[in-house]
Amino acid sequence: MTGVTVEGSSIDSTRPSIARVYDYLLGGKDNYAVDREVGDVFFRDLPGSVAIAFANRAALTRAVAQIVRTTGVRQFIDLGSGLPTADNVHQVAQRHAPKSRIVYVDHDPQVLVHGCALLEQNDRTRVVRADVRDPEGVRTHPDTLELIDFDRPVAVILSAILHHVNDEEDPAGIVRHWRDHVPSGSHFFVSHFRSGGNPETEEAERVLQRTFGRGRWRTDEEIASLLDGLEVLDPGIVPAPLWRPDTAPSPWSAGGAERELGVWEHLIAAGLARKA
């Protein structure tokens, strides 16, 4: 893989990482004791909350497959991509369209290290270490420009990332920047913590704010407002398991689409939008 270095990157195993905690919740092994300590709060004090991570991952894989199968989009920018796991964006996209190109973006140095190792032999992928709160820096990064043609439609993936951007950091502005710099026909997938106005939501939000200083549950209306100026496609902003469910088996499935959702599965929303 070209154009990626880890110089100046250092992995701090003494402080929890959002990416590594998420990896732990999904059953991964790229995490440290400090990450497992945070994850265990969810396992122990908020039983069932891990369903959020699995529901989100399943919706992401369905969205990528949907974009590739039903549109001509063959370029993806995955913002806040996290650590590699099963059915990553490039694997899903290239399964249906082998020439798809994917740029992964994350500021966690461990994501960079593991991403580079995973993608070393895949010349249609790049891993960019950058902050999603600096969309212009991401867009103009040499590795992004090497792979992405901004004269052609792009799929911008915002999976489980905007809820880690606090209100004062202008999450809507991040989406707006990308909306203004990609051509018509581009797609935006968003998944986001969905406020349930219940004790589970409030406690989970407290855990994240106390640990990371970020983690914001938003209502369906607030999530939809992040996509202002875009056409939100059917079925709209809905709980992630209800976003275009299918019955095909996957490592993230937790039963058929007809089953009744648990309380936690209602607390992660997903939606797909298109720039007209």
8 Å CB contact between 230 and 188: yes
The mean per-residue pLDDT over the stretch 225-245 comes to 95
Q: What is the pLDDT of residue 26?
A: 76
| Domain membership of residue 261 as a residue range | 18-274
Would residue 190 count as lying in a domain? yes
The reply to whether 93 falls in a domain is: yes
CATH of residue 158: 3.40.50.150
Count: domains in the chain: 1
Higher-confidence position of 257 and 55: 55
Position 11 in a domain? no
Residue range 173-194, pLDDT digits in tens: 999 999 999 999 999 999 998 9
Query: In sequence order, what DSSP letters do the residues of 96-118 get, joined into one string?
Result: H-TT-EEEEEES-HHHHHHHHHH
Q: Is residue 39 part of a domain?
A: yes
Q: What is the pLDDT of residue 8?
A: 42
Structural domain contains residue 37: yes
* Residue 12 included in any domain: no
SS3 assignment, position 203? helix
Residue 251, pLDDT > 80, answer no
CA-CA distance, 134 to 43, in Å (whole number)?
Answer: 33
Q: Is residue 231 part of a domain?
A: yes
pLDDT at 9 over 70: no
Overall size of the chain counted in residues? 276
The predicted pLDDT at position 124 comes to 92
Mean pLDDT of the region 82-99: 86
The verdict on residue 1 lying in a domain is: no
CB atoms within 10 A of CB 254: 14
